[in-house]
């Protein structure tokens, strides 16, 4: 997508010296800074510190991390160690597990001397597939956008509420929840996006607001508390979010607070859709609340916050009385009963085992 | 309540020079600073800038504001002007309207030369009545706290989630939602309070966390997004909030985001109670969503935020890309159907016209 009028992806291969290039998303929206990841450790650190985040981009970064690891040591032991190091960076994103499982499956049977080239080819393939998947999600979601637009007066925007960042910054390109929006914008459908700021890390007010601005899509930032009120007042046509992991039965694990928006959408008869690339489906899990572990992150993400001072420099401020304890669960589960539809690369389906099996019959058991 | 081991109220009369003393709540939790309000304008500014906030404390401050206005000019015109200036400071708090109506009723029939003393006596009375009301709310809520405690193992705390600050800082003393907690603590019931930070102004992480700490009550700050997840996981026994205005039918207007917590409590079978001093009841209104205007505050409260730098100084940082637009509705409506009970100074009742009329029969028409 566009940054200052130029096309970018969130991760790319660099030749000299060999590296994976990324946008350091912890610096957005205040600065557009890139980094070159040259080692397994740098790739793992970037995932852990959320320089790259979003389930699909984490998967792609992990794949490049395997390549960087193989460049250093092509042994079986090094491969297993790299998988273990990368797997430990973030517990929730199922794409991470999925990308690493593909890496093991592809690389393990090969001779060590083939592994560097094979790991690079696999990482490139995973990145390209992500772009293709997300574009297909955009196509699959377009009829929904068109049908809402058709009920509107001329020039009246389709008003979408989104939570966190499931935009192109969370993927290699296009985004998941944003893909139908970007496709709708290409079609000339007027849009207005309510952007939940998404405490504690503010991925909405920093990343989603930034990327929508770069693509020229009208938007307004709100605190996470405000969405229910806007829905009560009839100011939201559609809630559209991403997911870090969705069970085979349609329970959606996504950024903390998603469940509250789903409840409000349900209470106000507003469609609540989840953009879902299939690598994000956990086919092993059938009960989100029981089976998906929720990452507990550093309480300082709640008690402290970074922003831009008047002079443009970045400062970290504390929000609570000294010594205050905080809890920081990073995700919650939206039960399938609250989800109107899942937008996958193969089309839209109900959030249920039947719905998902209809689109992915190869997975029915 | 206690600050650094000494007893305080949030507003008090000062003799020399004559003034109303307040704690400047915009400086908390980083500094405990008091101010002397010597004129009507200073009282109005303190309400507008939220140096004092919380419906009951706004009412008491407005009453002292009338006294300060009368000290300057005791004419009918000055009285009406003071009422208009104070009424315009905040649109939602029904206590403001209520305190000013009492002021007009008390002062208008009097001779101008009696008005200064009468206004002061009325302000003192309103402040004292608030303390009495809140203590009574504490008593009324105590059986609820006891009944939850009775289902717990020895030493297991009653886990209460609260939103915004309906603590003693929102009132003259005791608080509304905190009154049952402070009474329970006096009785030796172990407590743990989940404190919603309450964006955008963070009254939870700054004020509620600060006052609970000063009273020695265990608590943990969470982002507003986290409450639904904690309820899903069975980590909340009771949601207890205040209100800025409640209709005669039990629709509750409270800080933005309250509605989302009520939905989550309802979805998880957790009791959701509202502490409601009767001056907060709008007997004229019967449909919260249609009849209660929602204050839209400055968008900079969303895009900017103040906190404490490492060196202890206070800085204001910006959170969004430059030029980002934001919306800032300050309250939402929790429909009566989501409210388990109203805790008033006369006891607990259902959130319905019948429930409220049962406790306040003088209001039934």
Task: Show pLDDT as tens, one digit a residue, over chain B (365 residues).
Answer: 999 999 999 999 999 999 999 999 999 999 999 999 999 999 999 999 999 999 999 999 999 999 999 999 999 999 999 999 999 999 777 899 999 999 999 999 999 999 999 999 999 999 999 999 999 999 999 999 999 999 999 999 999 999 999 999 999 999 999 999 999 999 999 999 999 999 999 999 999 999 999 999 999 999 999 999 999 999 999 999 999 999 999 999 999 999 999 999 999 999 999 999 999 999 999 999 999 999 999 999 999 999 999 999 999 999 999 999 999 999 999 999 999 999 999 999 999 999 999 999 999 76
Q: Are B321 and B243 in contact (CB under 8 A)?
A: no
Spell B254-274 as b/e; 16+ CB within 10 A means b. bbbbbbbbbbbbbbeebbbbb
For B320-358, give the DSSP string: S-TT--B--B-EEEE-GGG--EEEETTEEE-SSHHHHHH
Nearest CB to A222; choose among B206, B264, B326: B326
- Mark the ranges of chain A whose per-residue pLDDT is less than 70: 365
Q: Are B333 and B251 in contact (CB under 8 A)?
A: yes
Query: In terms of DSSP H, where are the helices of chain A?
Result: 40-48, 55-72, 76-87, 94-107, 115-150, 179-186, 203, 209-215, 227-232, 258-267, 288-291, 300-303, 353-359
pLDDT digits (tens, 9 = 90+) for A206-247: 999 999 999 999 999 999 999 999 999 999 999 999 999 999
Across chain A, mean pLDDT equals 97
DSSP designation for B157: P
Of B38, B103, B37, B41, which Cα lies nearest the Cα of B66?
A: B103
Under an 8 A CB cutoff, do B256 and A229 touch?
A: yes
Contact list in B for residue A222 (CB cut-off 8 A) is 302, 326-328
- Chain center to CA of A268: 26
Spell A147-181 as b/e; 16+ CB within 10 A means b. ebbeeeeeeebbbbbbbbbbbbbbbbbbbbbbbbb
**B105 CA to chain A: closest CA distance, Å?**
36
Task: Count Cβ atoms within 10 A of the Cβ of residue A221 and give its class: 0-12 exposed, 13-18 middle, 19 or more buried.
Answer: buried
Q: Which chain A residue has its CA at the smallest distance from B28's CA?
A: A321
Tokens of B298: 């400055």
Under an 8 A CB cutoff, do B319 and A197 touch?
A: yes
Q: What is the pLDDT of residue A365?
A: 63
CA distance A342 to A326: 33
Q: What is the pLDDT of residue A364?
A: 76
> Which uninterrupted H or E stretch holds A245?
strand A245-247
Under an 8 A CB cutoff, do A225 and B255 touch?
A: yes
Nearest CB to B221; choose among A219, A261, A320: A320
Percent of chain A with pLDDT over 90: 98
Q: What is the pLDDT of residue A40?
A: 98
pTM here is 0.95
**B103 CA to chain A: closest CA distance, Å?**
34
Tokens of A216: 């020229």
Q: Which residues, 6+ apart, have CB-to-CB distance to A41 below 8 Å?
A: A85
Q: Are A294 and A330 in contact (CB under 8 A)?
A: yes
Residue A25 dihedral angles phi and psi, to the nearest 5°: -75, -15
ipTM of the complex: 0.94
Q: Are A12 and A20 in contact (CB under 8 A)?
A: yes
Q: Are B231 and B268 in contact (CB under 8 A)?
A: yes
Query: 10 Å Cβ neighbour count for A117?
Result: 12
Under an 8 A CB cutoff, do A302 and B198 touch?
A: no
Nearest CB to B199; choose among A223, A306, A321: A223
Under an 8 A CB cutoff, do A209 and B305 touch?
A: no
Cis peptide leading into residue A17 (ω within 30°) = yes
Q: What is the pLDDT of residue B93?
A: 74
């Amino acid at each position: 997508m566009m940054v200052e009028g130029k096309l970018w992806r969130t991760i790319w291969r660099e030749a000299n010296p060999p590296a994976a290039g990324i946008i350091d998303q912890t610096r957005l929206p205040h600065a557009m800074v890139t980094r070159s990841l040259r080692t397994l450790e740098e790739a793992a650190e970037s995932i852990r510190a959320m320089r790259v985040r979003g389930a699909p981009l984490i998967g792609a970064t992990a794949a490049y991390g395997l390549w960087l690891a193989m460049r250093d040591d092509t042994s079986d032991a090094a491969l297993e160690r790299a998988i273990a190091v990368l797997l430990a960076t973030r517990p929730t994103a199922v794409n991470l597990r999925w990308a690493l499982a593909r890496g093991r499956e592809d690389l393990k049977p090969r001779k060590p001397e083939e592994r560097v080239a094979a790991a690079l080819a696999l990482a490139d393939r995973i990145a390209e597939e992500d772009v293709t998947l997300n574009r297909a999600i955009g196509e699959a979601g377009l009829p929904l956008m068109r049908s809402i637009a058709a009920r509107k007066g001329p020039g009246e925007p389709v008003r979408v509420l989104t939570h966190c960042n499931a935009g192109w910054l969370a993927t290699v390109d296009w985004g998941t929840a944003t893909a139908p929006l970007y496709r709708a914008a290409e079609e000339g459908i007027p849009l207005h996006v309510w952007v939940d700021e998404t405490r504690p890390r503010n991925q909405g007010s920093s990343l989603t607001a930034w990327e929508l601005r770069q693509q020229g899509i009208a938007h307004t930032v709100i605190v996470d508390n405000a969405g229910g009120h806007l829905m009560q007042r009839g100011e939201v046509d559609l809630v559209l979010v991403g997911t870090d992991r969705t069970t085979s039965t349609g329970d959606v694990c996504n950024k903390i607070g998603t469940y509250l928006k789903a409840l409000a959408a349900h209470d106000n008869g507003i469609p609540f859709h989840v953009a879902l690339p299939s690598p994000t489906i956990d086919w092993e899990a059938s009960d989100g609340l029981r089976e998906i572990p929720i990452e507990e992150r550093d309480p300082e993400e709640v008690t402290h916050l970074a922003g831009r001072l008047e002079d443009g420099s970045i400062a970290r401020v504390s929000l609570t009385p000294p010594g205050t304890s905080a809890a920081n669960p990073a995700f919650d589960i939206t039960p399938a009963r609250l989800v109107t539809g899942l937008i996958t690369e193969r089309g839209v389906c109900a959030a249920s085992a039947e719905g998902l099996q209809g689109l992915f019959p190869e997975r029915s058991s």
